[in-house]
Structure 1
Amino acid sequence: MPGIPVFIKTTAAEMSHLNACQQFLQWALPRLRLRPEGYRKVRRQVCRKIQARIAELNLSGYEAYRRYLESHPAEWQELDKLSRITISRFFRDYQSWEMLAGEILPLQAKHAGAEKRPVRCWSAGCASGEEPYSLALLWRYHFESEYPGQSIEIIATDIDGHMLQRASLACYPGGNVRDVPKHLLAQYFRKEDGLFCLDQKIKNMVTFQQQDIRIAMPDGPFDIVFCKNLVAMYFAKGNALDCFREITERLVNGGFLLTGNHEPFPHEDLQHMTVFNRGLNIFRKKSP
């Protein structure tokens, strides 16, 4: 059949490209203190971005790009940007949000209320804001009336200024809001030009900061930290441990750390943390 040889040839070419990219990532990512294994499911996405950069530089391929990196140290910063993964949506890992609503937030609201202070939360690697806004929605709808007089403070950080601009606009395609309960979608979003735009009152509940978690973190203490699909997934183990030690220092005693459901979190190496829910990768800081 006429189309079959072309199909096979295209597939072979694509596989050759992916293999070359995989070899390149095995070499390059550790030099960025990143973990190649973490990129297994998102490799195609990263490879497409790197291939576009190679074309932009008018280079012949990955080997030429490797030589270019070795002779142009500033290019490593560009590669670091290309290696960032920004997949996000509202109420991602929905069971974690059920645990948050049913157990974690009530515990921390009572604790913070006893100390007459806000519940302080930090979303690390917040991308375009879906995670911290999910928390704001949850608090506004479920907890504001249940804990009158109790406030919440939500800090959200990301390295990517472009993503933070999208977060400040807070208008999202349908796929990003597919897990938002219908009553929340109707009450707190409006449809504009095919996008779902968040109510200003919810937007005002979140403070965004541009930070590279490897270099700087917001001041604690925090009752709850979200660090999902970032440090444990993509950072090399030593770098990840350093980050998690800094994060746990910013947790109140009894505070919670939520990581991605399938991330290899090194809690055994963090003496102040205990497993709260293994299936959901939720951890709690021990009280003295």
Structure 2
Amino acid sequence: MRDEEGVRFLQWCLPRLHLRWPGYRKVRRQVYQRLKRRMNALGLSSLATYREYLMAHPEEWPMLETLCRIHISRFYRDRGVFQVLQHEVIPQLAAMVLSQGEHELRCWSIGCAAGEEAYTLAIMWHQALASSFPSLAIRIVGTDADPQALERAKKACYPASSLKDLPTEWREAAFEILNKECCLRRLYRDSVIFLQQDLRYECPDQTFHMILCRYVVFTYFDEALQQETLHRILARLLPSGALIIGQTESLLADSQGLIIPWPAQLRIYRKIDESARSEAT
């Protein structure tokens, strides 16, 4: 498959899936490999014939959509973000939760892939924060549309390379070696549950104090779908809660009135507490 042929095909099909070509530019060859396997399974010789097949078989589009799912994740991805979460965001949220008479800090990891982000939060909590908030528990929900990724998340065993960014003491405390893989200990797994959900159609039936939506919605979705999905996410985010997006991502301009940046931190946002603002005026 020639690159220019693949680019033309993606630029044709992605908008029809409400996805953005710029988000796929750097990962397109990952999609090419999946397309090759699918075309071989169908007995098709080129992307041109696969395009014709799609036009004649509308039921193939959901399969194409699954071929375009991208999972690039590792533990402690974007070290600076997790340092801010550890030292500023989560302590503030924990104090807020306790002041409201609650005893559970609820977090949602969107597009959780094999669970690396969700488990990073659990490890951080138990290693660095739980002792400061002994009456508070953390509950983390990870959602993803890919059932195979979620099976890996539930297994919680990883190659050593995916743990390389974790602080050494956290890595040594949280993992044990089983069959040449690094497997997460039960203490850290018990704080996390995983749900198979496609964010475009379904969300967890609860509200959260912190939501991480990194490198999915605001990288791959088109603008209309971004806006629709953001409103769905914000409906699940409690007032004064935190929304974290990817460090290379940005919110749409007309989203800025809904949430305001966490003080001095880019791409970490706080949901406006409308009731507090009304009382202040």
Q: Into which bin does the TM-score normalised by the smaller protein fall?
A: over 0.9
The CA distance in 2 between the partners of 1:151 and 1:106, in whole Å, is: 13
Letter in 2 for 1:212: D
Shift of 1:97: 0.2
Mapping for residues 1-288 of structure 1, pairs under 5 Å: 17-117=2-102, 118-266=104-252, 268-276=254-262, 280-288=266-274
Shift of 1:203: 0.8
Indicate the residue corresponding to 1:10 in structure 2.
Answer: none
2:106 match: secondary structure: strand
Letter in 2 for 1:221: T
1:34 match: secondary structure: coil
Identical aligned residues as a percent: 37
Contact 1:125 1:230 in 2 (8 A): yes
Give TM-score, length-normalised by structure 1: 0.92
1:180 match: secondary structure: coil
Return 247-256 or 264-273, whichever deviates more: 264-273
2:122 match: secondary structure: helix
Indicate the residue corresponding to 1:3 in structure 2.
Answer: none
Contact 1:245 1:270 in 2 (8 A): no
Return 219-228 or 105-114, whichever deviates more: 219-228
The CA distance in 1 between the partners of 2:143 and 2:264, in whole Å, is: 26
Letter in 2 for 1:57: L
Shift of 1:268: 3.6
Shift of 1:280: 4.2
Deviations 1:40-73 (A, max 9, x none): 1101111111122112211110010001011111
Shift of 1:270: 4.4
Deviations 1:80-101 (A, max 9, x none): 1100001110010110000000
The CA distance in 1 between the partners of 2:245 and 2:268, in whole Å, is: 6
Contact 1:95 1:280 in 2 (8 A): no
Shift of 1:278: 7.5
Indicate the residue corresponding to 1:9 in structure 2.
Answer: none
The CA distance in 2 between the partners of 1:274 and 1:105, in whole Å, is: 17
Shift of 1:277: 6.2
The CA distance in 1 between the partners of 2:253 and 2:238, in whole Å, is: 17
Letter in 2 for 1:287: D
For structure 2, the residue ranges without an aligned partner over 5 or more in a row are 275-281
Shift of 1:167: 0.3
For structure 1, the residue ranges without an aligned partner over 5 or more in a row are 1-13
The CA distance in 2 between the partners of 1:70 and 1:268, in whole Å, is: 35
1:244 match: secondary structure: helix
Give TM-score, length-normalised by structure 2: 0.94
User: What do you get for the CA RMSD once the two structures are aligned?
Assistant: 1.3
Letter in 2 for 1:48: Q
